[in-house]
Structure 1
Amino acid sequence: MTVDSAILQAFVKLGNFLVDFCDNKSDANPPWNKRLQETIITAGHQNGWFTEDNVLHALKQWGGLLSQENLQKWLSKYPENDKSVAKTVAIIMAGNIPLVGFHDFICVLLTGNKVQAKLSSNDNVLLPFLADYLINENSSLKNKVLFTNERLQDFDAVIATGSNNTGRYFEYYFGKHPNIIRKNRNSIGILSGSETKEELTLLGEDIFRYFGLGCRSVSKLFVPKSYDFTGFFEAIFEFEWVLNSSKYMNNYDYNKAVYLMSDFKLFDNNFILLKEDEGYGSPIGTLFYEYYDTETELNAKLRSQKDQLQCVVSNGSVEGSISFGATQQPSLNDYADGVDTIKFLLEL
């Protein structure tokens, strides 16, 4: 796949800047450092879920991904594209976790197309900052990026991310255009009972990072019959820092009250509730669990419900799973809902 080398280098420079900023290795770019510090503070004021720790985690992940080697390796598998006219791609972004729409933004620009982005009010300062940095490095991008609060118009394709309800709305209004429309998905963890404390602690990262608000956040566990949760609770004790978040604890307290009034059986360690439930999307402060008989039966069930799942984590005992602690460290070719965004854009 042919990529404008100047645009690619702008992303590489952005990656270097983010890594340096997050690791405090360099103060070689004071104006941009100050602007980013101010942007992080503003993002936290606008959205209480966007703590400094979570925003820095997102920035550092992206900084590591935007290396010359990673970008070239990612894009090299795609065929040469002979498009002579750039398409305008409307991106409707979610705002559940910091920079959740950045991957779509990157894909559109690296395929030689133009971005017309409608940002969520929950996350509307971080991406414009990154776009400003890129434009500063490559002025040609100024005419390729538009953020709008108005009605989307004059676009050739749509990438929209939302809930099942908004997904139906998107399909109604944008169905006549080439599109990628994403709906609710959840991530799950599979336990066999043989996990080490270290593995269970890594699972805690999958559960609590971004307060469990991402589609890659583990919201449910499958465990064998008579599973003892004592070791799990001991391993995730270090995540008690969620107690410092009033937003998180308000949700935890509310859900606990509702469940107790309904006489549900709960496991509780005072900062997360475990509730037996067949659903996948657990509310904040709650983790669903479900018992399974055999791994063969479980694998068959998961295959039949794969359209509801984003990530499956385990110690390797389940087909197609990733390792504990890896859900919030996706690679560039980890496409949401398994839909190859680059391939879609190259075929426009």
Structure 2
Amino acid sequence: MSQNDKKRGFIELGKFLGQFSEAENTINPTVLYNNLFFEDFENLIRLSQSHNGWYTPENVYFSIQSWATALTEKNLDKWLSAYNFNEVKAKNVGLILAGNIPLVGFHDFLSVLISGNNVLIKTSSNDQFLLPFLAKYLISIGPEFADKITFIEGKLENFDAVIATGSNNTARYFEYYFKNKPSIIRKNRNSVAVLNGEETKEQLIALGEDIFRYFGLGCRNVSKLFVPKGYSFNAFFEAIFEYQDIIHYEKYANNYDYNKAVFLMSNFKLLDNGFLTIKEDNSYASPISSVFYEFYDTIEDLQTRLESESEQIQCIVSNNLVNNSIDFGCTQKPNLWDYADNVDTISFLLTI
């Protein structure tokens, strides 16, 4: 299967996904195999929340649209132009996927196939249906994909390398179990925002997207704010009030009530607006419905700290206050070349 054939398959998949949005699902007559897949995908989106209570239609559509935007010929060419695929000898690469947000393992799936390797996929019990459906569509575009994609229900076997995603606890198990195989083992990470009080209201509203998208369940969600001493949170709370309707979602509301009660019983000082609590804390990982914050003395000192603790951090959001930061509202809109944990997956796959 040629590189162009693989690339074409994903471009066609991107066109298929581009028909589905929260506003309206619209059939594009130029998209292939809509007669076989369009209605079934609509039904799957509608049923996703019954499979995983956090997979609301809004969040599933957001994920779908993100991939539709990414899977264009221009983006794929820009991403892949940095690599040489001429010497690839196909290996079997096992994927152990997370299920915290919809299609969270799609980039690994794409990377394995586009690099010329075969993929063995063990899905999370929290996300068992979306990726297999997209794989079926991909196989309809390029039947050669059928021999390169295998979904595993039991033990992962007969693999040459593995990419596994889990918690810090499961990562220790993965590191031991896969110690004799080339591997990428992903652990818990969180994202942070660095503020200085000069952010516009629009930037703070966009920061709310970084916090609340997917209910804060992703590693790219902002869970920690760094603010200067004396910082007033009034503008922050005013801006994120746009997201107040999140409290009407029962699972989120239950987490809000529970975590707020735990904090209060522990006599922690909280700031609270009725749907989000913020608490001063040194940790990066805050519970659902809460964001931690910490004061900094100087940007230079904070830069040094963030660099020293980079293995705990996925993204940094700021108004260009620190190195390697991204714009507000962009954490859940990564490019194809924005690798998780800053580990170049394609380079890894080309050297196994």
TM-score (normalizing by structure 2): 0.96
Q: Out of 77, 80, 94, which is 1:75 matched to?
A: 80
Aligned counterpart, 2:219:
215
Is the 1:188–1:218 contact (alpha carbons within 8 Å) kept by the matching residues of 2?
A: yes
| CA apart distance, 1:37 | 1.1
Is the 2:164–2:185 contact (alpha carbons within 8 Å) kept by the matching residues of 1?
A: yes
Q: Out of 317, 320, 324, which is 1:316 matched to?
A: 320
**Which letter does structure 2 place at the counterpart of 1:5?**
N
Aligned counterpart, 1:57:
62
- The yes-or-no answer on 1:6 pairing with 2:11 is no
User: After superposition, where does 1:37-52 map in structure 2 within 5 Å?
Assistant: 37-52=42-57
Aligned counterpart, 1:36:
41
- The yes-or-no answer on 1:177 pairing with 2:181 is yes
Aligned counterpart, 2:168:
164
Say if 1:3 and 1:322 are closer, same or farther in 2 by CA, change over 3 A: farther
**Which letter does structure 2 place at the counterpart of 1:17?**
F
Q: State the identity %.
A: 55
SS in 1 for 2:219: coil
Deviations 1:232-265 (A, max 9, x none): 0010011112112110110110011111111110
Is the 1:3–1:110 contact (alpha carbons within 8 Å) kept by the matching residues of 2?
A: no
Count of residues in correspondence between the two structures: 346
Is the 1:3–1:111 contact (alpha carbons within 8 Å) kept by the matching residues of 2?
A: no
CA distance in 2, matches of 1:160, 1:81: 26
Is the 2:227–2:293 contact (alpha carbons within 8 Å) kept by the matching residues of 1?
A: yes
Q: Out of 124, 129, 133, which is 2:133 matched to?
A: 129
SS in 2 for 1:313: strand
**Which letter does structure 2 place at the counterpart of 1:256?**
K
Deviations 1:173-211 (A, max 9, x none): 001100000001100001100001000000000000000
Deviations 1:62-114 (A, max 9, x none): 0111001110110011124312x310000000000000000000000011111
Aligned counterpart, 1:341:
345
Structure 1 unpaired stretches of 5+: none
CA distance in 1, matches of 2:198, 2:20: 39
Aligned counterpart, 1:301:
305
Kindly report the root-mean-square deviation, in angstroms, between the aligned alpha carbons of the 2 structures: 1.2
**Which letter does structure 1 place at the counterpart of 2:65?**
K
CA distance in 2, matches of 1:165, 1:3: 40
Moved over 3 A (4+): none
User: After superposition, where does 1:181-260 map in structure 2 within 5 Å?
Assistant: 181-260=185-264
Say if 1:26 and 1:256 are closer, same or farther in 2 by CA, change over 3 A: same
**Which letter does structure 2 place at the counterpart of 1:344?**
F
Is the 2:163–2:183 contact (alpha carbons within 8 Å) kept by the matching residues of 1?
A: yes
**Which letter does structure 2 place at the counterpart of 1:33?**
F
SS in 2 for 1:177: coil
| CA apart distance, 1:30 | 4.6
TM-score (normalizing by structure 1): 0.97
